[in-house]
Amino acid sequence: MVLFFSFTPQQIEETEETVQEETEVEPEPPKPSPPKQANPISSSKAQPHAKILLLTRAKEALDKEKLDRDEEKVRYLAERVPPLQLAGLTLEQLQKLCTELHTKIEVVDEERYDIEVKVNKNAREIHDLNLKILDIRGKFKRPNLRRVRVSADAILRSLLGSKHKVSLDLRANLKSVKKEDTEKVLTTEVQDWRKNVEAMSGMEGRKKMFDAAGAGHGQKKPKINAARRLQLKSLMLAKAAVMLENETKEKKDEKVKIMAERVPPLDCGRMSLQELQELCKQMHHKIDVVDEERYDLEVKVVKNNKEIEGLAQKVFDLKGKFKRPNLKRVRVSADAVLGALMESTQKASLDLRANLKSVKKEEEKEKEVTDWRKNVEAMSGMEGRKKKFDSGAPAQVPASMAKCKLVLLRHGEGAWNKENRFCSWVDQKLSCAGVKEAQDCGKLLKELGYEFDLVFTSILSRSIQTAWLVLGAMGQEWVPVEKSWRLNERHYGALIGLNRAEMALNHGEEQVKIWRRSYGVMPPPIDQSHPYFLEIYNDRRYETCDLPKDKLPRTESLKEVLDRLLPYWEEVIAPEIKKGKRVLISAHGNSTRALLKHLEGISDEEISSLTLPTGVPVALELDENLRPTKPHKLLGDEEAIQAAIKRVEDQGKVLVPAK
């Protein structure tokens, strides 16, 4: 715990006077007065007393805080377990009271058990996060080494011990070396284990071991095709689901067993009045004890949750500081590189003499032609995306490179977008402005000559409605539309339904920005007490998911959105694009940002500054491997797009009242 104290000038003067009184000594002969200090409390004598004063105040604050917590605990327990009144109760009333107390013990003990499980889970999570932080720091931290000069003789002495006098004078040591060699020859021949180790090390050694064991017999490992891989993946997922079900069942059985041991069945039918009164007192005391333990565990859970949040933020900061881009190693011959650079249809060779004349002719022809590679380099990264195109025409890309076109679209303005609330998985229709945005988007795409063969949307109404309105404005209502929950908006957990500006006022704009725009930080999860929990998880549309309802997320970061979106992209959408189909994806802000991050290789830090306004189409040109040949482009009026981006970025800021 960190405590901050603020002192008024009067308190500082009182402290100084106290310090001066306590540090008075016998008068000494007058000395020349030193120059006045800016702050007398910073003198060497006053500093210890000031520290003691601060520590005393801190101890008082801690004691007061502990006392407040204890008082709150006593008040809470007094409300939960009121005093027991047994005077004047009949035998039947006491039996009924015993039954009620027994039921209450079962309820409270079950609550305590559940919180114990949560505490253990939090402890494991804290342990894992601490290990993760150590791994991240240990992975990137270099030891501080000091350069020293050491002679070869000193190194040998340190290796062989200080008693040995060793010299690197080979002539002086020649005779002794020859004697040692002669003695080795005279000894009996022993199998040299070093040769075996050298012979069996590396890939060759491993191959020899497998050959000796009879494994492989020179047969090549059969390749797994896409259908077989998908089948294996399905089998693994089914097996994992069965294992999870068995684990859940085992946990339930264990809970029932423990609860039966802790709270045995009640049998008070043959007890006398005095025995029933004594039993009621014992059960009332047990409720006190169990409820107090449950309260302490609840406090511990709250503390652990704060610690987990802090550690998760620390991991996020460390990853952002140290993370390197994931690069894929490939082997490419020089001819293949030249072929890729000079268009794949041409055959390139490194025979410079043979190609000299043709190269000169091509250079003369292409003097006035723009190099598309320079345009791609200049416009890559977040800075390049922010630059405006100087000319209306796109950068020149060879026809063989830009094979596919893809359009991404964030749905039009929703009802809760207008109210500046976290909508997430709550199903909301488009507002009037959102309907107009979708229709204008369709008209723009029609003017630009876009046609679609297939449309993908989430299962939320605002993205489906946007797709229908766009196709209607384009006159392409017949185009098939496929829906999947994997294109849904990011699950904002407990933030769902809250106003972004109010959250910024209560928690700070920076924290709200982390919740909204960061890559790896998850908001607090939604629970059953949330007002929109049942509206989401009792919705019939989620019965169509390829996951059971209890496995659907309760909160997500952008990383989790990308993890659930990628299988659908790779197994469903990407194959259709490779077949030559023109695809429109009508989704949401975060699912679209996650897909752009994957396609364009945007870093975890840069993705937080990528903003997509509602109802603005994003055009991508992809090569045969579905990699962008140039940065994505927002279609439409540039000034209107920039104004819409600013409106989205201002949603998480505190509202300033107009003067």
- Residue 589 marked as a ligand binder: yes
- Residue 517 marked as a ligand binder: yes
Which among 653, 589, 650 is positioned nearest to 615, based on CA atoms? 589
Residue of 102, 284, 489, 632 marked catalytic:
489
Residue of 284, 411, 588, 632 marked catalytic:
411
Residue 624: Cβ within 10 Å count: 12
Q: What angle do CA 607, 608, 612 make, to 5 degrees?
A: 80
Asked if residues 479 and 451 have their Cβ atoms less than 8 Å apart, the reply is: no
Q: Which two tokens stand for residue 383?
A: 């800075």
Q: Which two tokens stand for residue 177?
A: 């070396």
- Residue 490 marked as a ligand binder: yes
- Residue 417 marked as a ligand binder: yes
- The torsion region of residue 462 among left (phi > 0), alpha (psi -120 to 50) and beta comes to alpha
- Residues 550 and 463: their CA atoms lie apart, in Å, by 24
- Residue 92 marked as a ligand binder: no
- Residue 590 marked as a ligand binder: yes
Give the residues across from 456 on adjacent strands.
482, 585
183 is catalytic: no
- Residue 413 marked as a ligand binder: yes
- Residues 600 and 4: their CA atoms lie apart, in Å, by 46
- Residue 489 marked as a ligand binder: yes
Parallel, antiparallel, or unpaired for β 454-457 and 617-622?
A: unpaired
Parallel, antiparallel, or unpaired for β 583-587 and 633-634?
A: unpaired
- Residue 375 marked as a ligand binder: no
411 is catalytic: yes
- Residue 412 marked as a ligand binder: yes
Q: 430 — phi, psi (to 5°)?
A: -75, 145
Longest CA span, the chain: 117
Which among 635, 566, 573, 552 is positioned nearest to 597, based on CA atoms? 566
- Residue 329 marked as a ligand binder: no
- Residue 157 marked as a ligand binder: no
- Residue 309 marked as a ligand binder: no
Beta-carbon contacts of residue 559 (< 8 Å; ≥ 6 apart): 519, 520
What is the CA 559 to chain-centroid distance, rounded? 6
- Residue 486 marked as a ligand binder: no
- Residue 76 marked as a ligand binder: no
Q: Which residues are annotated as a binding site?
A: 410-417, 462, 489-492, 516-517, 589-590
Q: Which residues are annotated as a binding site for substrate?
A: 410-417, 462, 489-492, 516-517, 589-590
- Which residues are tagged catalytic? 411, 489
